[in-house]
Amino acid sequence: MADSRTINTATRAKAADATALKDFLSLIKIGIVNSNLITAFTGMWLALELANRHFLQSLDTIFLAMAGTALIVAGSCSLNNWYDRDIDTIMKSKNFRPTVTGRISNRKVLTVGLGFVAAGTLLLFMTTAVAGLIGLFGVFSYVVLYTMWSKRTMVSNTVIGSFAGAVPPLIGWAAVDPHLGVVPWMLFLLMFIWQPPHFYAIAMKKCEEYRAAGIPMLPVVKGFRTTKWHMLAWVVLLLPVPFFLKPLGTAFIILATLFNLGWLALSLSGFKMKDDLKWAKWMFVYSLNYLTILFVAMVIATLF
């Protein structure tokens, strides 16, 4: 029979390992990494398919682009956590992060962030120079333009931060074909327009946290009703985008248009609903499903 002290030691070790993994995934914001990989892969897939290049013959490029994208996103998120540790302490939804609890030292966080960005950028440059440069722009726009500059000083911080979230499809496409045409730029535009209503919904739900932390998010500065008008305007801007994606076929254009109209209807319903936070939750959930389904549909559309 095993000694109880041995069992307890092993249990504590497993618990410590689980906590360390959880902290690491929180540090790199694994949810953001995964969503960016979906859009980067879609951009790369479409570049291959529309150029009639075989997927299996491009596995080296695919690996470099996906690994490079994952690393620069994870590194940028780590740097964001490192810089924002003071305000994350105030926000209830973020004070569990290892940069706040101290389970990962600031020096290690900075090392991970810079190291991942450097390694990811190198991998992207091993595909094409354009992919590498776009990746660097994404890092700069998220870490410097958003995190270090506009987030704490400007109500337009969400829009400025949207540039970073819109580049993964461009990175994926440029890794295969550095000559960017209409389709990749429409993917960029779709991602750019999608982000404000998505993140405004989050800002509405966490309005009081942002207020306490002194972050000038739109709902904090302008109120919920003005935020709803802004969200509606951004959703309206999505309406023409599918019609510039004709290479994906009529079925995709119809599907994307239906999703746009559904989001438009939900946006309009916000002016009648009395429970603003409930409506914001619906907008958030819809935006997540919207993005996932449309980008998966883009891949499926090229298979038929």
Return the structure tokens found at 96. 């569990």
Number of domains in the chain: 1
Closest CA to 60 of 127, 128, 130, 132: 127
Q: Does residue 200 lie in a domain region?
A: yes
Q: Does residue 13 lie in a domain region?
A: no
Per-residue pLDDT at 193: 98
Asked if the model's pLDDT at residue 232 lies above 60, the reply is yes
Q: Does residue 88 lie in a domain region?
A: yes
Compute the average pLDDT of residues 173-186. Answer: 96
Q: Does residue 79 lie in a domain region?
A: yes
Read off the CATH number of the domain in which 76 is found.
1.10.600
Per-residue pLDDT at 52: 87
Per-residue pLDDT at 76: 97
* Residue 17 pLDDT level (bands cut at 50, 70, 90): low
Q: Does residue 1 lie in a domain region?
A: no
Cα–Cα distance measured from residue 158 to residue 91, given in angstroms and rounded to the nearest whole number: 18
Residue 289: domain span: 26-301
DSSP, collapsed to helix, strand or coil, labels residue 101 as helix
Q: Does residue 3 lie in a domain region?
A: no
Averaged pLDDT of the chain: 93
Compute the average pLDDT of residues 188-201. Answer: 98
Q: Does residue 16 lie in a domain region?
A: no
For the stretch 260-296, pLDDT in tens is 999 999 999 999 999 999 999 999 999 999 999 999 9
Cα–Cα distance measured from residue 83 to residue 78, given in angstroms and rounded to the nearest whole number: 9
Q: Residue 57 corresponds to which amino acid?
A: Q
Q: Does residue 12 lie in a domain region?
A: no
For the stretch 25-44, pLDDT in tens is 999 999 999 999 999 999 99
Cα–Cα distance measured from residue 192 to residue 214, given in angstroms and rounded to the nearest whole number: 25
